[in-house]
Structure formats: structure tokens, C-alpha cells
Structure 1
Amino acid sequence: MKIIIAAGTGFLGKNLEEYFTEKGNKVYILTRNPKRKNEIYWDAKTLGEWKNLLEGSDVLINLAGKSVDCRYTEKNKKEIFDSRIESTKVLQQAINQCINKPKVWLNASSATIYVHSETHLNTEENGIIGDDFSMNICKSWEKEFYKSETENVRKVALRTSIVLGNNGGAFPKLKMLTKFGLGGKQGRGNQNVSWIHIDDFCRAVEFIISHESISGEINVTAPNPLSNEDFMRKLRKQLKIPFGLNATVWQLEIASIFLNTETELLLKSRNVYPEKLIQNSFEFIHPTVEKAFEDLL
């Protein structure tokens, strides 16, 4: 297949590129800083030479969007919003100009679209979507994505949870904190953690591409969310660290200022279930966090 990954130089993009390249596919990356032969310049908001790449391609995966791991200042909030909407909009414009359009377009979204939930398990069918900055970003993002129906282009929004891998994302930081004895629960510890192993993430993307009956919103997450307290306890156990200091909400508020991030990333309860993947018989290699930790560590 000819696969285009927009904004594919980050943690998820690199792993997807490696995964699909190893299977004999041709992968091209759209990036602001092209350094290799298969990387092409784009600014994620205006049409350019890059649009010719989409002609006759099989798959387009859009991962563009400023990281939410920052302080939610007005400037950063605007960048988080604009980067997602503009990239989605300009990709639609490029596809509209193609004679042979990509067969499937996977656009990033987030499991953060669902409300803070400690008891209600959010599936694609019955998930409760609320109203705050993060949820509204996801809603606007998906609205822009689905605004234009494009003939013969299957669209899938990837509502992805926290992805666990050793070469990026949140996991290396959690590992480091735990090794320093700071791997206790965060806040009350009863907020749920929805997660997926990086290998299962790549396999799920491949599965969605190859199953033409799958479209619309997909929860890309392992089937067993667990509480923050359990998650950290199991991580300590795997790392053989006997203790972990707990962090109260006020301590996290102070730390987040110094770490230039927001406490929501740790304290929001994401209780999400991959119903569509399960219904379509997708099999997880790492269905439990113990299996994921065992592999990663």
C-alpha cells in the first residue's frame, strides 16, 4: 500500500511508519522539517506540492495537532484548536482535488472526548460526551472531519487512549517517576486509566484499514481500563520498586506549573471500552496492563 502519514514524526507516527514499512508498504511523511527521502514539507494549513502525494494513495493517516501536554494559556489553547482544525480542513481540500482519492482516511481524535467517568464505561454507542475545553476540542475536530462527505473515501476517527511505549509518550516519564519512588497514586487514585500498548495501537490501525465495514468513531484502547491506584501499583510491582509516594491534588497543581503541563492529564477519569474493535473480532496481544508492562519492561 501507499500510506501517507500527516505529522508522522512523533511517537505514534514513527511507530506506525516502522510497522507498515516492515510489512512492505510505502510510507510517506508530511512534516514541517523534512530530513529523509520519504519526508515531504507541509505547514499543516496551506495547500502545496505535498497534495500530489495523496493522488492514488491507499491510506491517509492524520496525526497533526499541538500536544496537549502544556499549560492551557489562551495562546496554547488557540494553537491546540487551530492545529487540529486547519490540518483536517486542508487535507480535505487536497483530497477534493485528487482524481484517485485515498481509499481510507484515519483522523486522530481522543478518548478525552468522553466525560470524567469513574463508573460509566464509555463505548462508541453509549459514550457520554461533555462540555469543557478538551471535550470541545475533540468535538470540533470530529465535526470538521465529517463536515464533507467524500465519495469513495472511508473516514474513521481514532478516539485513542494513552498509548504505552518505551520510545515516547507518557510511559517513559511514569517509569522514571516510579524509579525515583514517586510512583504512588495521583490525587484520590480512583480515576480510571484507559491505555493501549503501542503494538496493539499499530495493529488496530492496520485492522481498521483492512476491514472496509469499519467506519466512523472508533475507541482505540485496550479492553481493561483500571484505576490510577491499581495502574501505579502494578507498575511498581513490575519495576520491583517497593514503595511509591502518593501525590495529592494540591501537590500536583504546584508540580504541573513547574512541569509546564496540566493536572487534567493525570486526574481525568477515562473509562473507555473498544466495543467496535471487539465486535469486529480484533484480538489484543496485550489485553491487560500486566501483559503490557511485562512486555515493555
Structure 2
Amino acid sequence: MHRTVVLAGASGFIGSYFKQRFLADGWQVRTVGRGASADAQWNDDGAITKVLDGAELLVNLAGRSVNCRYDDRHRREILDSRVLTTRTLGRAVAACSEPPMTWINSSTGTIYRHAEDRPQSEDSGDLGSGFSVDVARAWEEELAAADVPATRKVPLRIAIVLGPGGGVMGPFRNLARLGLGGHMGPGTQKFSWIHVEDLFRTVAFIHRHGELAGPVNAASPYPVDNRELMSLVRQSMGVPFGIPTPAWLLEAGAVLIRTQTELVLKSRWVEPRKLLDAGFVFDYPCLTGALNQIANPTRSLTKPPLHPNALSPKRPFTQTLSHLKGPSPKRSLT
């Protein structure tokens, strides 16, 4: 009998990747979204409950892109697309006769303060301030408010997601291609990131490990600063140099292209302490290996993966920079 996962907000880069990977691992995938192809629409609580009933896992990825100017309309859309969808799922899960065992709800690593002094873990991190942090707090509070005692709820504080065919690397690569791939602003701001494959494996790992509770940080254990990020982007493209972009010019450019400089100037130093302590092993711990895979995406999603026992989930985290050459073999997540 197929195990069933429900993906809410599955039409984007991450959701599309997750859907393919779950299907490749033999799961039945049901979806909640706005499009006609979704199994349930956001405005139909009854249909959402029907989709969720009997499912083993719920993963909520819904949320409007933050790559825009934070005017009043966009602020409301960004907030509502996260809080209201989480509220809707809470009602639907509560109405299930056989609710999901696990509900993993997207949150964001941006919930932590601008940090250049030390990493921010789940237990010792300092929450920040400002619009993005307010959204993250409201998002997690809505999940906590859901009255679903039979379902384990985990807010997943996701760093910037990288992967072939999506994520944020397109703009960085375009800048490098134009000779503008130097550091941005001071260049000292931390860039916490995670490869989309490791994000998928994180979700499956959390589902398997019932002891993981409360917020979980989803980020590579090896963040880089912006100066190193842009250097590695240039190296992966064979571009020898790049002109730095000062903060004032970034501010002016952000207005022109209707986005926010927070996306590149905030120092995000997110530590995946709970994952590491639980024995999670990253396929892409270091940015060089991730960028090489993105530039040469040779791994097929349809190849039969190895069983998870090939690498024990309790194995201590001992990866070092020797893993720069590439990922370990793909493992099954069933």
C-alpha cells in the first residue's frame, strides 16, 4: 500500500521538486493549491479535509514570493499567503478522522536577527525585528495555535534554497555573467543556504524522527559570507573577476527592479543544530559541491535510491571540507 503525503503549495520550485522526489520514492502525492490541477483548492475546507484524511505526512510550502517591494499590498499578500493557508490547514487537519502523523510547516531562517558574530541555533538564536521577522512569528504562531493533538507539528526554518532550475542562483549567475559578480555591500554578511535535495531529505528525516519537536533549522552547516559566495559563483562559471556592488547602488537598483536589499544584505547565520544532533548527514554540506551540481545537474530523480540504512541516521556528523567534490549517493526516504 502506498504511503501518502499531502503537499500544500506544490506549484513552485521547491514543491515541484518535492513532488517528483516523493513519487520517485513510491509515495502517493496529493496536493492543495490554487491551480486547477490541485486535488483540493484553498477555498474548499471540505475538499482539503478529504485530501488530508488518511495521509501520513503534510508538508505546507505555501507562501507568496518575498522578491518584491514591501509596499502595503505586497506586505498583506506575503502575510496572508502564509498565515491564512496555515489556518485553513489547521481546520482541515482537526476535522480529519485519520489525521496526518506529521505536519511540517514552512517557516524561514530570516526569523533570526542580522548575525555576523555567532550562529543562530533553535535554542540559542536571537529572534530579529522588522517586517520579515513579524511575518515569520505570525506564521509559526498560527501553526502553534492549530488544535491537532494527534499530529506532530514542526515549523521548518528554511534558509535560502538552491537547486537546478530554481532558487536564487539565477540572479547571482546573471550578475557574474555581466562582470558584476563581486561582493555585495560590505561582503561580510553571512549567506545561509540549503540544497533543495537536502531540504527534501530533511523533511523525510523529521518525519522519521518523532523525537524532533519545535522549530527545526534547515540550513547547510557551512554558511559562507557574501564575498566568498560571489567568488564561488564566479568560479563555478569560469568568470575570473567581478565588480563589487556598494550598498547604496543596491538600494537604487532594488527600487528599479521592485525588490528589497534585505534579500542580499541581511546576514543570515542559521545553524542546523537539531538536525546535526539527531544525526542528519548532508548530501551537500559545502557550497562548492552544491554549485557544481547546479551547474551540471546530472543526477536523475528517477534513479532507484539506496535504502536509508546505507547511512545510519544516528551516525555522528563528521563531514569536513573533503566533501567539496560532490554528494553522497541518493538514499531512499521511505
TM range (shorter): over 0.9
- What are the within-5 Å matches in structure 2 for residues 49-68 of structure 1? 49-68=47-66
Which deviations, in whole Å up to 9, do the C-alpha atoms of 1:138-192 show, x marking residues without a partner?
0111011001342220111110001111211211221222122111111111100
Work out which of the residue numbers 173, 176, 183 in structure 2 matches 1:175: 173
Work out which of the residue numbers 4, 8, 11 in structure 1 matches 2:10: 8
Amino acid of the structure 2 residue aligned with 1:9? S
Q: TM-score, normalised by structure 1?
A: 0.96
Question: What is the rounded CA distance, in whole Å, between the counterparts of 1:274 and 1:6 in structure 2?
Answer: 24
- Report the counterpart of residue 264 of structure 2 in structure 1: 266
Question: What is the rounded CA distance, in whole Å, between the counterparts of 1:279 and 1:149 in structure 2?
Answer: 29
- Report the counterpart of residue 213 of structure 1 in structure 2: 211
Amino acid of the structure 2 residue aligned with 1:86? L
Work out which of the residue numbers 147, 150, 162 in structure 1 matches 2:148: 150
Following TM superposition, by how much is the alpha carbon of 1:41 offset from its aligned partner in structure 2, in angstroms? Answer: 3.8
Conserved? CA contact 1:42–1:48, under 8 Å: no
Which deviations, in whole Å up to 9, do the C-alpha atoms of 1:96-153 show, x marking residues without a partner?
1111011100000000000001112100010100221111110111011001342220
Q: TM-score, normalised by structure 2?
A: 0.85
Following TM superposition, by how much is the alpha carbon of 1:14 offset from its aligned partner in structure 2, in angstroms? Answer: 0.5
Secondary structure of 1:155's match?
strand
Question: What is the rounded CA distance, in whole Å, between the counterparts of 2:101 and 2:90 in structure 1?
Answer: 13
Could you say if the C-alpha distance between residues 275 and 169 of structure 1 is closer, same or farther in structure 2, counting changes exceeding 3 Å?
same
| Coordinate RMSD, CA, aligned | 1.2
Q: Structure 1: 5+ residue runs without aligned partners?
A: none
Conserved? CA contact 1:47–1:90, under 8 Å: yes
- Report the counterpart of residue 306 of structure 2 in structure 1: none
Work out which of the residue numbers 114, 132, 135 in structure 2 matches 1:134: 132
Which deviations, in whole Å up to 9, do the C-alpha atoms of 1:179-233 show, x marking residues without a partner?
2211111111110000011111111111111111112100000001111001111
Question: What is the rounded CA distance, in whole Å, between the counterparts of 2:250 and 2:144 in structure 1?
Answer: 37
Secondary structure of 1:94's match?
helix
Question: What is the rounded CA distance, in whole Å, between the counterparts of 2:64 and 2:292 in structure 1?
Answer: 31
Question: What is the rounded CA distance, in whole Å, between the counterparts of 2:167 and 2:293 in structure 1?
Answer: 16
Conserved? CA contact 1:9–1:29, under 8 Å: no
Amino acid of the structure 1 residue aligned with 2:221? P
- Report the counterpart of residue 47 of structure 1 in structure 2: 45
Question: What is the rounded CA distance, in whole Å, between the counterparts of 1:214 and 1:281 in structure 2?
Answer: 11
Amino acid of the structure 1 residue aligned with 2:88? V
Work out which of the residue numbers 185, 188, 191 in structure 2 matches 1:190: 188
Q: Which runs of 4+ in 1 moved over 6 A?
A: none
Q: More displaced, 218-227 or 245-254?
A: 245-254
- Report the counterpart of residue 288 of structure 1 in structure 2: 286
Question: What is the rounded CA distance, in whole Å, between the counterparts of 1:130 and 1:187 in structure 2?
Answer: 20
Which deviations, in whole Å up to 9, do the C-alpha atoms of 1:21-44 show, x marking residues without a partner?
000000112121123xxx22413x
Secondary structure of 1:216's match?
coil
Work out which of the residue numbers 23, 26, 46 in structure 2 matches 1:24: 26
Secondary structure of 2:106's match?
strand
Question: What is the rounded CA distance, in whole Å, between the counterparts of 1:112 and 1:76 in structure 2?
Answer: 18
Identity %, equivalent residues? 36
Question: What is the rounded CA distance, in whole Å, between the counterparts of 2:34 and 2:289 in structure 1?
Answer: 36
- Report the counterpart of residue 112 of structure 2 in structure 1: 114
Conserved? CA contact 1:183–1:246, under 8 Å: yes
Conserved? CA contact 2:48–2:89, under 8 Å: no
- What are the within-5 Å matches in structure 2 for residues 59-138 of structure 1? 59-138=57-136
Question: What is the rounded CA distance, in whole Å, between the counterparts of 1:147 and 1:14 in structure 2?
Answer: 28
Secondary structure of 2:29's match?
strand
Question: What is the rounded CA distance, in whole Å, between the counterparts of 1:161 and 1:46 in structure 2?
Answer: 31
Conserved? CA contact 2:180–2:243, under 8 Å: yes
Question: What is the rounded CA distance, in whole Å, between the counterparts of 1:83 and 1:197 in structure 2?
Answer: 24
Aligned residues between the structures: 293
Conserved? CA contact 2:86–2:143, under 8 Å: yes
Question: What is the rounded CA distance, in whole Å, between the counterparts of 1:90 and 1:149 in structure 2?
Answer: 12
Q: Structure 2: 5+ residue runs without aligned partners?
A: 296-334
Question: What is the rounded CA distance, in whole Å, between the counterparts of 1:148 and 1:18 in structure 2?
Answer: 29
Secondary structure of 2:167's match?
coil
